[in-house]
């Protein structure tokens, strides 16, 4: 039996590159009268456009997306739909993905192996302001933060390179920026779409805390990334 919470419908955007999974998840959630699936997307670029257009209350986001993965897409999605809450729904049990998602603003990190009723409950909790993490990931989250705390202790004063914040793909993008290449040229050399490059560039600038490609190129050069 489906138990609903009084109030307006929760408008949901589903982001996953597997068509069958998107359709199955949409059908599952649509059984609950409190949930309204307003749209879906198969990659980060489409998700950003749909989020800006639809302004959903909640985004269910897979991590393994083509081009830009879900964790890296989070800042742009939150910018496109500032009021939307985001739950990662993924197969990845990697603690680095978990920590990165939470740091980037996700309200939850759940695994696709969970039951439908448990997912519905988690969505309601997030919409009430809670954070949700899959039970299988709780221990990894504690370990990750314990390790991070130990790494920032008094015994470790070595400066951390800003490039350490970037993913391997973002480092490739930054190399192209340092060479003075346009988004189209970077996309051609990496065999990815120009729109995907644009999203990566936004993430690189944000992570490096700079406002221009020139500033990013200077950082790349200073740290020997050429």
The 10s digit of each residue's pLDDT in 171-194 is 899 999 988 889 999 999 999 998
Q: Range with the lowest mean pLDDT among 13-27, 104-118, 200-214?
A: 200-214
CATH number reported for the structural domain that contains residue 202 in this entry: 1.10.10.10
The CATH number for 121's domain is: 3.40.50.2300
How many folded domains does the chain comprise? 2
Q: Clarify whether residues 103 and 58 are in a common domain.
A: yes
Q: Quote the domain boundaries for residue 72.
A: 10-144
Please state whether the predicted TM-score (pTM) of the whole model is above 0.85: no
Contact 65/93 with Cβ under 8 angstroms?
A: no
Confidence of residue 149 (pLDDT cuts 50, 70, 90): low
pLDDT of residue 3: 39
- Tell me the per-residue pLDDT of 23-69, one tens digit each, with 9 for 90 and over: 999 999 999 999 999 999 999 999 999 999 999 999 999 998 988 88
Which two structure tokens, joined as six digits, stand for 98?
Answer: 């978990």
**In the predicted structure, residue 153 carries a pLDDT above the cut 80:** no
Q: Secondary structure of 142-187 in the HEC alphabet?
A: HHHHHHHHHHCCCCCCCCCCHHHHCCHHHHHHHHHHHCCCCHHHHH
């Amino acid at each position: 039996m489906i138990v609903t919470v009084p109030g307006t419908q929760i408008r949901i955007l589903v982001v996953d590159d597997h068509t069958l999974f998107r359709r199955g998840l949409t059908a599952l959630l649509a059984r609950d009268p409190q949930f309204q699936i307003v749209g879906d997307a198969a990659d980060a670029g489409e998700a950003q456009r749909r989020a800006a257009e639809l302004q959903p209350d909640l985004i269910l986001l897979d991590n393994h997306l083509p081009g830009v993965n879900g964790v890296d897409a989070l800042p742009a999605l939150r910018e496109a739909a500032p009021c939307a809450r985001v739950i990662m729904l993924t197969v990845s049990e990697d603690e680095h993905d978990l920590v990165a998602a939470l740091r980037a603003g996700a309200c939850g990190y759940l695994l696709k192996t969970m039951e439908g009723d448990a997912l519905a409950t988690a969505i309601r909790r997030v919409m009430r302001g809670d954070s949700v993490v899959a039970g299988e990931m709780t221990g990894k989250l504690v370990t990750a933060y314990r390790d991070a705390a130990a790494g920032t202790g008094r015994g470790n004063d070595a400066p951390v390179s800003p490039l350490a914040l970037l993913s391997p793909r973002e480092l490739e993008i930054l190399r192209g920026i340092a060479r003075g290449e346009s988004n189209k040229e970077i996309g051609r050399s990496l065999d990815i779409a120009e729109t995907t490059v644009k999203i990566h560039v936004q993430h690189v600038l944000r992570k490096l805390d700079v406002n221009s490609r020139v500033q990013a190129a200077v950082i790349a050069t200073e740290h020997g990334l050429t």
